[in-house]
């Protein structure tokens, strides 16, 4: 092993992972606001452990001086999606970005691996601004569905435990579970519209609840104490009866009350 200072060597990779995680989480939040649906469910990232870099460099026959170019996943990001179609959309968004360059794409969804592994990979070049200037690092972005992730996580643990000696029957059973995950993804895609509608209805309902409660609070600031107490009673009543239609009417009523209270004070602040 060489005498390199691994802590310093890994610094730009750590920075790249932190920045990319923030960027993809922000992309999720932005798309959710703009389009009400984000193709990204959640994002994780990690810097490869030194032991894993050493093991991979030996396996791939990469000299330690060449790990920066010879090992593409020292910085790794993983983006989880609900549906297979979302993966293509996320890949499109990544290709369009100006803050990174996509070098290689590996489509293990169309061409899944012998193990049963499915995911879409992108190897990117990402410029990190360090105290010593700009440094471009390679990073791997794995994009997969929740089902693909579930399978790969379990399979990774088993492969790590058994290494080359994973018993044949276990290997065969894992392949079968990969097929089950594939069927699950297809089934979910088939009822995608219904799932999205249900998720939207849930979000709409929770927005109505939070907006109503927030406006009731604001009524107190305008000394509409009696109205606020009445509205709270109506809220409790609707909530007990799971009456979303009643809550929508209540929201309109409290908005009206607040608008009236604000009238004259600041006409721009009408709800
Ligand atoms: N769980 C699981 N993960 C896999 C499998 N194949 C690839 N991966 C993941 O995908 C990454 C990149 O795989 P490849 O595209 O094959 O890259 P590679 O550098 O040519 O080969 P690896 O030695 O597998 O890293 C791996 O580091 C794993 O995180 C698999 O069969 N099972
Ligand atoms: N791109 C990635 N983004 C987020 N997590 C990852 C990524 N790649 C691997 N991981 C996770 O990091 C942990 C350590 O994996 P490690 O880097 O040692 O192996 P690997 O990438 O799966 O395989 P290999 O050594 O063959 O590249 C595992 O939990 C793995 O699932």
Ordered by where they begin, the domains of the chain are: 6-166 (3.30.460.10), 194-269 (no CATH)
Give residue 166's pLDDT: 82
The pairing of strands 75-81 and 133-145 is parallel
**pLDDT exceeds cutoff 60 at 229:** yes
pLDDT digits (tens, 9 = 90+) for 35-92: 878 999 999 999 999 999 999 999 999 999 999 999 999 999 999 999 999 999 999 9
**pLDDT exceeds cutoff 60 at 260:** yes
pLDDT digits (tens, 9 = 90+) for 141-169: 999 999 999 999 999 998 877 777 888 89
Pocket of ligand 2 (CB under 6 A): 44-46, 48-49, 52, 56, 73, 76-78, 140, 142, 156
- Please report, rounded to a whole number, the percentage of residues in the chain having pLDDT higher than 70: 96
- Using DSSP's 3-state secondary structure scheme, residue 123 falls into strand
Q: Residue with the nearest Cα to atom 7 of ligand 2?
A: 76
User: Which tokens go with 8?
Assistant: 């310093």
Window from 11-15, 124-128, 197-201, 232-236 with minimum mean pLDDT: 197-201
Element (H, E) at 89: helix 84-96
**pLDDT exceeds cutoff 60 at 256:** yes
- Between 162 and 120, the higher pLDDT residue: 120
Q: Residue with the nearest Cα to atom 1 of ligand 2?
A: 76
CB 152 near ligand 1, within 6 Å: yes
Give residue 270's pLDDT: 61
Positions of E strands within the chain: 42-47, 75-81, 101-107, 120-130, 133-145
Give residue 269's pLDDT: 64
Q: In whole numbers, what is the pLDDT of the chain averaged over residues? A: 93
Measured CA angle at 85 (ends 81, 91), to 5 deg: 70
Confidence of residue 197 (pLDDT cuts 50, 70, 90): confident
- Using DSSP's 3-state secondary structure scheme, residue 131 falls into coil
Confidence of residue 121 (pLDDT cuts 50, 70, 90): very high
Confidence of residue 179 (pLDDT cuts 50, 70, 90): very high
User: Which tokens go with 83?
Assistant: 């549906």
| Mean pLDDT within 178-188 | 96
| Mean pLDDT within 215-232 | 95
Q: How many angstroms does the Cα of residue 104 sit away from the middle of ligand 1?
A: 14
**pLDDT exceeds cutoff 60 at 1:** no
Give residue 160's pLDDT: 77
């Amino acid at each position: 092993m060489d005498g390199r200072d691994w802590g310093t060597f890994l610094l730009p990779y750590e920075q790249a992972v932190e920045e990319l995680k923030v960027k993809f989480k922000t992309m999720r939040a932005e798309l959710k606001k703009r389009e009400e649906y984000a193709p990204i469910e959640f994002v994780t990232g990690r810097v490869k452990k030194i032991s894993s870099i050493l093991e991979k460099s030996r396996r791939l026959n990469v000299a330690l001086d060449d790990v920066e170019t010879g090992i593409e996943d020292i910085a790794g990001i993983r983006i989880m999606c609900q549906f297979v179609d979302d993966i293509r959309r996320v890949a499109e968004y990544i290709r369009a970005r100006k803050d990174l360059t996509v070098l290689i794409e590996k489509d293990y969804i169309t061409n899944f691996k012998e193990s049963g592994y499915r995911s879409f990979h992108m190897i990117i070049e990402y410029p990190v601004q360090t105290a010593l200037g700009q440094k471009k690092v390679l990073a791997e972005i794995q994009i997969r569905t929740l089902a693909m992730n579930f399978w790969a996580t379990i399979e990774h643990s088993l492969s790590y435990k058994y290494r080359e000696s994973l018993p044949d029957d276990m290997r065969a059973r894992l392949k079968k579970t990969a097929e089950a995950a594939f069927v699950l993804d297809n089934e979910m895609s088939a009822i995608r519209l219904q799932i999205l509608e249900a998720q939207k209805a849930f979000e709409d309902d929770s927005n109505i609840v939070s907006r109503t409660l927030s406006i009731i609070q604001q009524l107190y600031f305008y000394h509409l104490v009696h109205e606020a107490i009445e509205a709270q009673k109506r809220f409790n009543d609707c909530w007990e009866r799971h009456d979303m239609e009643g809550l929508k009417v209540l929201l309109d009523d409290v908005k009206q009350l607040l608008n009236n209270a604000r009238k004259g004070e600041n006409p721009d602040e009408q709800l």
